[in-house]
Every structure is written in structure tokens, then in C-alpha cells.
Amino acid sequence: MPNVMIRREDDGRLSLYVPKKDLEESIESMEFEGDDKWGGVVELGDGSKYFIEPLEGEPSLPITLRAKRA
């Protein structure tokens, strides 16, 4: 499971960075993106998917989390 960094871009969109692959892509969809639950299956602009264990509420960004390919 790689560590990934999620941050909010200037235009308000979320992006995900995988340091070991030097991959940075915009997040197209996230399974849970609300005040009560945040995370789950994340789909990137290139079509790849990662799973982030859902968190209670939206965290302050940027944040580094463990993720696995979905």
C-alpha cells in the first residue's frame, strides 16, 4: 500500500500524488465526500482507482494517507 498525498488545487479540484510512481492526477470522483464521511474508492483522471479507508469527516488538506489500488 503506497502513501499518497491529496491536496486541493487553486481551482478547487482535488489531486492525488503517488511519490513512488511520480504520478499526479486529478481526482474525478470519490465514493464518500461529505461532512460525515470522506474517502473510499477514488477514481483518477487517467482511469486508475485507489481505495482510501474512509475517514470521519473531511480532513484538512493537504493530507498523506495509505491507499491501495482498487
Query: Where along the chain do its domains lie?
Result: 3-69
pTM of the full structure? 0.89
Asked if residue 33 has pLDDT above 80, the reply is yes
pLDDT per residue as tens digits for the range 42-65:
999 999 999 999 999 989 999 999
Q: Specify the DSSP class assigned to residue 20.
A: G
68, 48 Cβ separation under 8 angstroms: no
Asked if residue 19 has pLDDT above 90, the reply is yes
CA distance 70 to 34: 21
Would you list the DSSP string of 15-30? Answer: EEEEGGGTEEEEEEEE
38, 32 Cβ separation under 8 angstroms: yes
Asked if residue 68 has pLDDT above 90, the reply is yes
Backbone angles phi, psi at 51, to 5 degrees: -115, 125
Mean pLDDT of 37-42: 97
Instruction: Give 3-69's CATH code, choosing from 3.40.640.10, 3.90.79.10, 2.40.50.240, 3.40.50.720.
Output: 2.40.50.240
